[in-house]
Structure 1
Amino acid sequence: MNKFIRLSLVAALAISTSVFADESKEANSIQEMFSKGTVSGQIRLGYAANKTETAGAKDTSATAIGGQLKFETAAIKGFSLGVAMYTSHAISGLSGDAKDGEFNGELTSDNGQYTEVAESYINFDYEGFNFRGGRQLIDTPLADSDDIRMTPHTFEAYIASYTLKDLGLSFIAGSVLNWQGVDSDYANVTNGVWAKTGEDGTYVGAVTYSNDIIEASAWYYDVTKAASAIYTDVTGTIAINDDIEIVVAAQYLGESEKDNAAGAPSTIEGSIIGAMVEAGIYGATLSVAYDSVSVKDGNQIFEGFGGGSSYTNIDTMTAGTLHDGTVGDGSSYTIGAAYEIAGVNIFGVYGDYQADAVTGGVKAHVTEINVGLEYEYNEGEADVAFIYVIGEDKESSAKTDFDNDRIQLVMNYNF
């Protein structure tokens, strides 16, 4: 899953390795390291309801309250610490009855709650070099925070980066071992442990480049006992004047299968090639995106641990959703528009996803519409986001899980 519409076309590229404290927060002792630390957080109230047309399935809903509480120390000789708790709890009187199968677990897990020490790490920063180890937020093409429900994904990871600011170059390398969040089915709640990112984790390496006009990146992932992947993209920005800007982007994802823990091929083999154009004109944003997916019969495409980086990914559907081994090659496109007025951003996006039939199979064709609005108060002190999603299976004569409408309302107070 991914955010409903990309108001910026650039896929998330950067590891979250920002230094916690500026020079004014530099500590001279262990005591000062903690006394000069900062507390931040978020209180989030969310509502989600799914209406399905599948035979025998029930509509579901839930209201939840939760958020984050984080403490960051000041830095001492480049070292700093961070810890954060994430939590979400369903409000029973305002949620569907779990006993009747009417509870929506997207916001709080099927258990109706979770509380997790989601971040706990040490950070070291020195003259362009940064290392962060432990539970942390990261945003890369195949592992990202994907904060679209109550709390973002976090990862147990050990990441080093070196940035040459004058050249616009960054080099990144590390290991991502485990993760938690909505896209991992809240594994920390159901199993008591975080979900694995490969049998022995995932190794990652990258080079990124940026200047005033061009942003480009190349990434390599070794998902142990599953697949190896190469991801590249390039984005160009043309500012015609203060009110008109055009962004053009292209991406490529190529994956090769490996033998899994049982010694059998993982069936992850394929590629995604995409392009996107976005135009910002006097407060309005127009975007068009296209992704082509190629897989061998019986194989699937892997879009990562999180929302994925494909340009046609929206709230529920992604470029690779249909390509689960039951269909062949395919393509998808999205057309989106947004307009900001009086501080309210109103948006809409239409997505069309198709896949060819494998031998003896059937084709797949699904459409999804996202419409909604966002409002930010007092420079981010509070915000609200509403989205309405309409999904339709165009190929199947019987109703399927793709024939599903959903509503989500999220309100945040940030401190």
Structure 2
Amino acid sequence: MNVFKIFKNINVHYAVLLLTPFSSLYCGDLFLDALQKTTPIGYVKTMYVHDDRAAPKLDQSTFGVGGKVGIESGDWYGLKVKVAYYITSDLGMRDSNPKKVDAYMFDVDKRPYSILGEASLEYKNNNSAFTAGRQEIDTPIVSTYDYRIIPNLFEAYTFTNKDISHVTITLSYITKMSGLDGLVSFKHFESMSAQTYTSLAMRDLQTIDANSGDTLDISKISGKHGVWMSGFVYEDKFKFQAWNYYCKDVMDEFYIDLAYPYEINSDLMATLEAQGYAVREVGKFKDFLHTLNINGSYELFGTKLSLESKNIGLSTSLAYNFFTGDAKTITAFGNWGGYPEYVAIPYMFAQDNSLSAIGKSKMGKINFKYDLQKMGLKNQTLIAGYAIIDLDEKIMPQSDIDVINFIYKAKSGKALTLKTQYELRESKNYRYTNDILTLSATYAF
């Protein structure tokens, strides 16, 4: 394999810059073997999103195509290099009115973009690994979360260790973020404090204005800071995980969950899950909020019970979540791409006199997942669910939401995945009355 030809084809000269120092250090058989084992990585993805929204909002119809192309080197004394380039395109089909374009397919200005999303050096030694540079991260609160074409990506220094049986320990300092859950930019890596997405909208730094203000860029208060992340995951007969995320002068978050499976008989498997997280504003951001007589401290709790029948191919689950907080609480729901809640909810707008729509909210969901292989349709799955989102009337009146969703997934081999998703939302608040159809095809290599 001619690795330099690959570099040229995917236009990532950064890979050459990363590899050249090592080639000068050692040109023996092991280094040449690592070069020969360099492999292409990535995916091609095409999507179509149609959002039929209630007036006065305009319907959105958006087509996008793109993906990821990159390389991963072979191992050389425990070292590996990974470089990947991400791209989106509308193929000239994007509507000229930005309000008719999906909010997450492209950049914040609704225009296609591309980005060098991964450029990392990894070192592995026995049960430990250290990765430095641009990378994908998958944890409950900080997550790559790829529900469109280009996902969230992070600049970080990440250490993992698995010396203890069934335990993974993670320590990381995450400096910057790009992607569809960022606040100030999707196509540029910005500080984690700048990318923190809260419900607080302000006209200026003294005036709260939920209807006409802009979502606050916290870095204007706190300065530009990264996130210290630490995690403990135990997985054997049951799974337990605990994570902490600390961003100086912004917030401190703690997440915990437990999943306990129980075999009823040879056919039926039950799983009981519980979760919770707490968010606390800290430092300069805390002082800023308290000056306005508001706060950023709240919790989420949840439980979920699942039952799976292997013979029938059917899984059923019941889930419940609720948020604490009050009328003076702002929230940072899913602020760095992590959406660990058992009952997923749409983005909730702060409006009128409210600071957040999710304070004291309750939500429940029943879900069914059926393996269509039982009907002779191999590698195909059908999912149907119904959720109720009960918002506190004193905080967000007349805005409860009923959600019905259907998902169809099909795989062809290990490479091609097809997905169709339809979601119908009903509410007395026009902001949450719409139905969304999403079609996607992904080919991974």
> Is the TM-score greater than 0.5?
yes
Deviation at 1:122, TM superposition (A): 0.9
Q: Does 1:245 align with 2:269?
A: yes
Q: Which has the higher helix share?
A: 2
Deviations 1:46-80 (A, max 9, x none): 1011111132x211111111011121111111111
Q: Using a 3 Å threshold, how does the CA distance of structure 1 residues 265 and 321 change in structure 2: closer, same or farther?
A: closer
Deviation at 1:363, TM superposition (A): 5.8
Q: Does 1:210 align with 2:246?
A: no
Q: Does 1:134 align with 2:168?
A: no
Deviation at 1:148, TM superposition (A): 1.1
Distance in structure 1 (CA, Å) of the matches to 2:126 and 2:245: 27
Deviation at 1:151, TM superposition (A): 2.6
Counterpart residue number, 1:53: 54
Q: Does 1:287 align with 2:317?
A: yes
Distance in structure 1 (CA, Å) of the matches to 2:409 and 2:158: 33
Deviations 1:300-322 (A, max 9, x none): 332331141111116x368x999
Deviation at 1:29, TM superposition (A): 3.2
> Match for 2:419 among 377, 385, 396?
385
Q: Using a 3 Å threshold, how does the CA distance of structure 1 residues 225 and 392 change in structure 2: closer, same or farther?
A: farther
> Match for 1:223 among 239, 242, 247?
247
Q: Using a 3 Å threshold, how does the CA distance of structure 1 residues 355 and 262 change in structure 2: closer, same or farther?
A: closer
Q: Which has the higher strand share?
A: 1
Deviations 1:17-38 (A, max 9, x none): xxxxxxxxxx953333222111
Give the letter aligned to residue 84 of structure 1: A
Instruction: Provide structure 1 residue ranges, at least 5 long, that are not aligned to the other structure.
Output: 1-26
Deviation at 1:409, TM superposition (A): 0.2
Counterpart residue number, 1:148: 147
Counterpart residue number, 2:65: 65
* Range with greater deviation from structure 2 (194-203 or 335-344): 194-203
User: For the Cα contact (< 8 Å) 2:391–2:397, is it kept in 1?
Assistant: no
Distance in structure 1 (CA, Å) of the matches to 2:316 and 2:184: 35
Q: Which has the larger radius of gyration?
A: 2
Distance in structure 2 (CA, Å) of the matches to 1:250 and 1:414: 33
Q: Does 1:194 align with 2:229?
A: no
Counterpart residue number, 2:11: none
1:216-365 aligned at under 5 Å gives the runs 216-260=240-284, 263-265=287-289, 267-281=295-309, 282-302=312-332, 303-313=334-344, 316=346, 325=356, 328-341=359-372, 342-343=377-378, 344-358=380-394, 362=397, 364-365=399-400
- Alignment RMSD (CA, Å): 2.5
Q: TM-score, normalised by structure 2?
A: 0.78
Counterpart residue number, 1:29: 30
Q: Larger RCO: Structure 1 or Structure 2 (Cα < 8 Å, ≥ 6 residues apart)?
A: 1
Deviation at 1:143, TM superposition (A): 0.6
User: For the Cα contact (< 8 Å) 1:61–1:102, is it kept in 2?
Assistant: yes
* Range with greater deviation from structure 2 (140-149 or 321-330): 321-330
2:97 partner SS = helix
2:32 partner SS = helix
User: For the Cα contact (< 8 Å) 1:62–1:91, is it kept in 2?
Assistant: no
Give the letter aligned to residue 244 of structure 2: Y
Distance in structure 2 (CA, Å) of the matches to 1:99 and 1:337: 38
Give the letter aligned to residue 330 of structure 1: S
1:264 partner SS = helix
Instruction: Provide structure 2 residue ranges, at least 5 long, that are not aligned to the other structure.
Output: 1-27, 197-223
Deviation at 1:168, TM superposition (A): 1.3
1:91 partner SS = coil
User: For the Cα contact (< 8 Å) 1:298–1:358, is it kept in 2?
Assistant: no
Distance in structure 2 (CA, Å) of the matches to 1:50 and 1:132: 39
Q: Using a 3 Å threshold, how does the CA distance of structure 1 residues 29 and 270 change in structure 2: closer, same or farther?
A: same
Aligned residues: 374
Deviations 1:383-407 (A, max 9, x none): 100001111224x4xx2x2112111
Distance in structure 1 (CA, Å) of the matches to 2:423 and 2:54: 14
Deviation at 1:228, TM superposition (A): 0.8
1:118 partner SS = strand
Distance in structure 2 (CA, Å) of the matches to 1:162 and 1:52: 47
Give the letter aligned to residue 271 of structure 1: E
2:113 partner SS = strand
2:35 partner SS = helix
Runs (4+) off by over 6 Å? 320-323
Counterpart residue number, 1:403: 433
Give the letter aligned to residue 35 of structure 2: F
1:272 partner SS = strand
